[in-house]
Structure 1
Amino acid sequence: MTNNTLADFNKLTTAEAEALFKREVLSEGFAGFRRLLDSLTDAIKASCDTDMDTVEQSVAKAKRLFPEPVDFSPSWEKIWPELENTIAAKKHIFANVSHVDRAGEWQVIMDNPLVVQEVVCYPALSFEDAAYLYAYFRPKLEKSEYIRLQKIQTVIQEIGS
């Protein structure tokens, strides 16, 4: 596939270039589409406030070019709504945490207090990594589950000997 990075994908500005890209991906099948999805996912993960609109447009373009990702794999039946929901959740985090409050250690916690299961905690994260994890898991919450993104103000840590 000639255009295998998101930067290359975003440079597809003509209908002819998009059609060529689509043919290349379709000819490669699963592997070609997987590279596109991986580049979109990496872009969502790495994006900051100023990148979110570009990433959103990239997902919209991919969705327009490949409206039935289930043709590549049954596991991708809902990939477009999943990516769109992840972007929306990440934009929500960016809109609600000011730049000055982002420094420091963050964590993401998930739990369902109504069932017997382990609490999931992702500690010692940068704001950017925590925002992505929150955005990734937020749309997938089951009934009664909750997710928390929180900044650590004080840490006391001991290591056993």
Structure 2
Amino acid sequence: MITNTYTEFSMLRSAEAETAYQQEVISEGYAGFRRLLDGLTEAIKAAADADIPSLEEALAKAGRLFPEPVQFSPSWERIWAELEATLATKKHVLTAISPEERTGEWQVIMDNPQVVQEVVCYPGLDFHDAAYLYAYFRPQLEKSEYIRLQKIQTVIQELGC
């Protein structure tokens, strides 16, 4: 049994290897497909600028090998579109913010000023974690919601006694 990690998946080079992998995942069912999704998600989360093209190819290959992920779980009906949107947003962030500007502390803030609800804030992140959270949540925004990815320039923090 293979572990279905992104690394193994990305190393499939022939149609025969892809077919064998596809059959193994199908025979394992939910668990096998979940490992593939977890591997792809972790690869997107960790992706640096140079990783984006190979991830785009991997998502295209995954969609080709498993065109109906709903057969594994109804919640995965739109998983390929969701992962593609997350990757596209992360690509946008990596393109918009140069490597020289990525040092320091970052945060992601989400809010909908039209409703009474808590502001969601993920503070104290390094750039790659913040970029992934932004990329993950951005495609899911509802009407009137906004999301911000911002670098912290100055911080004053105190702890209560």
TM (normalized to structure 2)? 0.98
Larger mean CA deviation between 24-33 and 53-62 belongs to: 53-62
Name the residue aligned to 1:54. 54
Name the residue aligned to 2:12. 12
CA distance in 2, matches of 1:3, 1:129: 25
Name the residue aligned to 1:21. 21
Deviation, 1:2, is 2.1
CA distance in 1, matches of 2:150, 2:112: 17
Name the residue aligned to 2:112. 112
Name the residue aligned to 2:92. 92
CA distance in 2, matches of 1:2, 1:89: 31
Name the residue aligned to 2:45. 45
Deviation, 1:13, is 1.1
Deviations 1:33-80 (A, max 9, x none): 000000000000000101111111111111100000001000001100
SS at match of 1:148: strand
The letter for the 1-side match of 2:138 is R
Deviation, 1:3, is 5.2
SS at match of 1:109: strand
* Alignment coverage as a number of residue pairs: 161
RMSD: 0.7
Deviation, 1:5, is 1.9
CA distance in 1, matches of 2:69, 2:4: 17
Aligned residues of 1:3 and 1:21 also touching (Cα < 8 A): no
Aligned residues of 1:107 and 1:150 also touching (Cα < 8 A): yes
The letter for the 2-side match of 1:89 is T
Name the residue aligned to 2:102. 102
CA distance in 1, matches of 2:3, 2:111: 41
CA distance in 2, matches of 1:86, 1:20: 28
Structure 1 stretches of 5 or more lacking a match? none
CA distance in 2, matches of 1:79, 1:5: 17
CA distance in 2, matches of 1:98, 1:21: 37
Q: In percent, how many aligned pairs have the same letter? A: 68
Aligned residues of 2:3 and 2:35 also touching (Cα < 8 A): no
Aligned residues of 1:85 and 1:139 also touching (Cα < 8 A): yes
Structure 2 stretches of 5 or more lacking a match? none
1:158 equivalenced with 2:158 (yes/no): yes
CA distance in 2, matches of 1:32, 1:85: 23
TM (normalized to structure 1)? 0.98
